[in-house]
Copies of this chain bind each other. A is one copy, B any other.
Amino acid sequence: MEQIRNGTYTGPTSGLARGYAQANLVILRKEYAYDFLLFCQRNQVACPLLDVTDIGSVASRKMGVDADLRTDLPRYRVYRNGEFTEECTDILSLWEEEMVCFLIGCSFTFEDALLANGIPIRHQEEDVNVPMYKTSIPCEPAGRFHGNVVVSMRPMPEEQAIRTSLVTARFPSVHGAAIHIGNPAAIGIKEIAQPDFGDPVTIKEGEVPVFWACGVTPQAVAMASKPDLMITHAPGHMFITTVKNEQLGVL
Interface pick from A18-26, A32-40, A191-199: A32-40
Query: How does the 8 Å CB contact mask read for A148-178 relative to B, with 1 for contact and 0 for none?
Result: 0000000000000000000001101000000
Say yes or no: A41 contacts B52, CB within 8 Å: yes
- A5 contacts partner chain B, Cβ-Cβ < 8 Å: no
The residues of B that contact A40 with a CB separation of less than 8 Å are 41
* Identical copies of this chain, number: 2
B52, B140, B169, B250: the one within 8 Å of A38 (CB) = B52
Say yes or no: B37 contacts A250, CB within 8 Å: no
Interface of A is mostly: helix
The residues of B that contact A52 with a CB separation of less than 8 Å are 38, 41-42
The residues of B that contact A251 with a CB separation of less than 8 Å are 169-170, 250-251
- The residue on B at minimum CB distance from A166 is B251
A206–chain B nearest beta-carbon distance, Å: 28
A interface size (C-beta, 8 A): 16
Within the assembled complex, what's the spacing in Å between the Cα atoms of A77 and B76?
A: 47
- A78 contacts partner chain B, Cβ-Cβ < 8 Å: no
- Chain A, range 133-152, C-beta contacts under 8 Å to B: 140
- A49 contacts partner chain B, Cβ-Cβ < 8 Å: yes
- The residue on B at minimum CB distance from A53 is B38
- Chain A, range 188-217, C-beta contacts under 8 Å to B: none
- The residue on B at minimum CB distance from A50 is B41
- The residue on B at minimum CB distance from A176 is B250
B41, B49, B61, B169: the one within 8 Å of A250 (CB) = B169
Within the assembled complex, what's the spacing in Å between the Cα atoms of A172 and B40?
A: 17
Query: How does the 8 Å CB contact mask read for A236-251 relative to B, with 1 for contact and 0 for none?
Result: 0000000000000011
Within the assembled complex, what's the spacing in Å between the Cα atoms of A33 and B143?
A: 13
